[in-house]
Amino acid sequence: MKRKLTIEDLSRLVSVTQPTLAPNQQEAVFVQTKIDEKENTYQANLWHVDLASKKVTQWTHGKEKVSSPLYSQDGTELAYLSTREDINQLYVVPTNGGEARKVTSLEKGVASFLWSPCGKKIWFVASLKEGKLFTDDPEKEENKKPEPYIVDKMKYKMDGTGLLPQDTYKHIGVINTQTGEVTQFTEGNYSYALHAISQDGTKIVFSVNRSENQDFEFRQPLYLVDVESKQETTIIEEDGNFGGAAFSFDDAKLAFVGSEGTYKNATHTELYVYDIESGSREVLTEGIDAPVGDYVVADHQQGSNAPSVVWTKDNHLYFQVSTMGDVRLYAASLEGEMYPATGDDEHIYGYDVAKSGEFALVTISNPTKVGELYLHTIATGERQALTSFNASFENEVELIPAQAIVYKGAKEWDVHGWLMKPTGYVEGQKYPLIVEIHGGPHAMYANTFFHELQLLTAQGYGVLYVNPRGSHGYSQQFVDAVRDDYGGGDYEDIMAGLDFVLSENTWIDESRLGVTGGSYGGFMTNWIVGHTNRFKAAVTLRSISNWVSFFGVSDIGYYFSDWQIGADMTDVEKLWDHSPLKYAKNIETPLLIMHSEKDFRCPIEQAEQLYITLKQMKKETGFVRFPDSDHNLSRTGYPNLRYARLKQITDWFDKYL
């Protein structure tokens, strides 16, 4: 008989990510990540798989985090990033065996890299101070005195980073892997991103915004650059996000992904193809009313970083599409033919595709499968498992399937979601139900493994989680519908989902309902308890309570508020009308407030205001602060704090439900 899942099972889970095929197409590498409880951190190591024998071998064994493995074009060497010496530096290892050697010692480390086709040079991106060439002489921090931080722009801080380094810019450089000689390629007080190198090594694609004042610049134009002359050709410069470029095998075309600024950050991401000779550009995915890419929210996969697009030699392109709660691998031809290359009810969170287009390496998860690496034959859909790191956990622990539901929300629109029964469910008994609300709001719940949801079922709760309007994976109209309507149709969608499952499932005890969510889900939790007393307990995490103060304190507040609420400080009344704090006097639901001390996205003052207001009003509330943690505590935070967070949630619901 299988046992119930526990909080501590987080340490049993293994992430399998970043599958990367070798040039010979007969072997591959991937990254395996797991919690190191002793060090209270994560270990990410490099593994190798022989596709013929299916033999899997560990290649690195350190306590560092390895990421971004990439073979040289001839397959004789593999480069990767590693935090072996605290900060990400570039390492190269011979693929026929031998020790890895460190090839960079840059002060701020390496952000990203690409092999030059010659196999003797690597292009990389790293941060450096204004006017300072790349250096091998890191500044000593011990004796540095505190200095004032002079703010002269609006984008001066970032969640996960804190205050941005002043007079520091990301630049592109080239390192000779044999001699160690470093050459700086880009110049000026601008930040560059490197996206692609042509097959013949004569051209690169980078993005840069050279506007003097970037406070209201939300674009990063893409350029095609001649390596020899440095002459630039503009590929796209509209407002929006563009990147993930890849050259076709004949260097005639360039594919990239991006979203224009039409619906601000709610705009669907599309796949573009640029003809290098003519300079013409087309949108290949116009016929799909769903976004290209992976928009799933969950709490397990570490370092999941899939390519934006992969070419085959016959000029087919492969890419992810988030649709109807799935992330599927799609294929497209240059003529516009398009079809899914994988099936329904799963989350393809990583992939690489053979040059021939015959097979793909895919990492796959679903609600009862943590995630493993598979060899997927594209023509037939046949699969072979290449890893089984989570098999013993899955065989030992009872994992609850998620039942897909569809119901009518606001405006009679279809809304999708899932219902999970409690572990050990017995027909005829009544059980409490917890409603979970995702962040974003432009993200989505999906057919993927979610430890927190499984934990709640193990604690004896049913779990309802839905994708209300504003969620990705559906139409452009649907994802845009939440903007300027926070607390309107989205609130109706969630409550309609609750009414639907109550009408269809007699096992749910309507007198014992809980609600929780983080970020936008935290905002919505706050909003719900201020507008209904149906819930007996609520937990709000990394939430927004006051749009007026959020405008000035969040790293994105001054533009996000306008994009999402449709108001700035010239319309304080509208910001306040959409603020849960305004309705605090209505809250009768016991509310636990949880927040990270170093959250720059939704700063902790949002929690402080709500807590003190509720305490002053003699409401039932609690407040838990997490030190040294940012907005991503539930996904990538210190393991002990992730355990503590889950215990606080389950204890609160246990007390009131």
DSSP assignment string, 8-62 = GGGGG--EEEEEEE-TTSSEEEEEEEEEETTTTEEEEEEEEEETTT--EEE---S
Q: Is-cis flag, bond preceding 441, omega within 30?
A: yes
> Choosing from 191, 519, 545, 629, which is the catalytic residue?
519
Strands 591-596 and 621-626: parallel
Tokens 């697009």, located at residue: 309
pTM value is 0.97
Q: Are 439 and 519 contacting, i.e. CB atoms less than 8 angstroms apart? A: yes
CA 358, 360, 361, 362 torsion-angle sign = negative
Burial 370-400 (b: 16+ CB within 10 A, else e): bbbbbbbebeeeebeebbebbeeebeebbbb
**Is 652 strand, coil or helix?**
helix
**Which pLDDT belongs to residue 250?**
98
| Positions of CATH 2.120.10.30 in the chain | 14-140+154-188
State whether CATH 3.40.50.10540 applies to domain 14-140+154-188.
Answer: no
Written as one letter, the residue type at 618 is K
Q: Are 17 and 31 contacting, i.e. CB atoms less than 8 angstroms apart? A: yes
Q: How far apart are CA 95 and CA 567, in angstroms?
A: 56
Q: Are 266 and 475 contacting, i.e. CB atoms less than 8 angstroms apart? A: no
Q: Are 449 and 14 contacting, i.e. CB atoms less than 8 angstroms apart? A: no
DSSP tag of 586: G
Contacts of 71 (CB under 8 A, 6+ apart): 20, 21, 22, 23, 29, 77, 78, 95, 115
Q: How far apart are CA 173 and CA 116, in angstroms?
A: 12
Question: With DSSP H G I counted as helix, E B as strand and the rest as coil, what are the percentages for the chain, rounded to 5?
Answer: 20, 35, 45
Please indicate whether residue 105 is annotated as part of the active site.
no
Contacts of 230 (CB under 8 A, 6+ apart): 185
Q: How far apart are CA 297 and CA 631, in angstroms?
A: 13
| Positions of CATH 3.40.50.1820 in the chain | 400-656
The CB density around residue 301, as the number of other CB atoms within 10 Å, is 24
Q: How far apart are CA 416 and CA 341, in angstroms?
A: 23
Q: Are 164 and 158 contacting, i.e. CB atoms less than 8 angstroms apart? A: yes
- In the Cβ-directed half-sphere of 608, how many Cα atoms lie within 13 Å? 10
Architecture of domain 400-656: 3-Layer(aba) Sandwich (3.40)
- Quick one: angle between helices 451-458 and 639-656, nearest 10? 40
Q: What secondary structure does DSSP assign to 245-303, as a single string?
A: EEE-TTSSEEEEEEEESTTGGGSPPEEEEEETTT--EEETTTT--S-BS--B--S---S
Contacts of 369 (CB under 8 A, 6+ apart): 390, 394, 449
Mean pLDDT in each 10-residue stretch from start to end of the chain (657 residues)? 97 97 98 96 97 97 93 97 94 93 93 96 92 59 83 96 93 94 94 97 97 94 97 96 97 97 96 98 96 96 92 98 98 95 97 98 98 97 98 98 98 98 98 98 98 98 98 98 98 98 98 98 98 98 98 98 98 98 98 98 98 98 98 96 98 98
Q: What secondary structure does DSSP assign to 92-145, as a single string?
A: EEETTS---EE----TT---EEEE-TTSSEEEEEEEEETT----S-PPP-TTPP
The CB density around residue 230, as the number of other CB atoms within 10 Å, is 11
Q: How far apart are CA 338 and CA 122, in angstroms?
A: 34
Phi-psi region of 264 (alpha: psi -120 to 50; beta: other; left: phi over 0): left
Compute the C-alpha angle 204/178/114, nearest 5°.
Answer: 25
The CB density around residue 219, as the number of other CB atoms within 10 Å, is 19
Q: How far apart are CA 22 and CA 303, in angstroms?
A: 20
> Choosing from 207, 451, 631, 634, which is the catalytic residue?
631
The pair of structure tokens assigned to 319 is: 């890419």
R_g of the chain computed on alpha carbons: 25
DSSP tag of 474: S
CB burial of residue 434 (10 Å; 0-12, 13-18, 19+): buried
CA 101, 107, 108, 114 torsion-angle sign = negative
Q: How far apart are CA 242 and CA 130, in angstroms?
A: 26
**Is 477 strand, coil or helix?**
helix
Closest CA to 502 of 419, 417, 400, 409: 419
**Which pLDDT belongs to residue 139?**
53
Q: Are 194 and 174 contacting, i.e. CB atoms less than 8 angstroms apart? A: no
Q: Are 138 and 129 contacting, i.e. CB atoms less than 8 angstroms apart? A: no
**Which pLDDT belongs to residue 97?**
86
Measured CA to CA in angstroms, residue 246 lies from 72, 257, 272, 325, 455 at distances of 16, 10, 11, 27, 40
The CB density around residue 571, as the number of other CB atoms within 10 Å, is 14
The helix/strand count (H/E) of the chain reads as 11, 38
- The dihedrals phi and psi of 348, each to the nearest 5 degrees, come to -85, 100
- The rounded Cα 419 to chain-centroid distance in angstroms is 24
Please indicate whether residue 519 is annotated as part of the active site.
yes
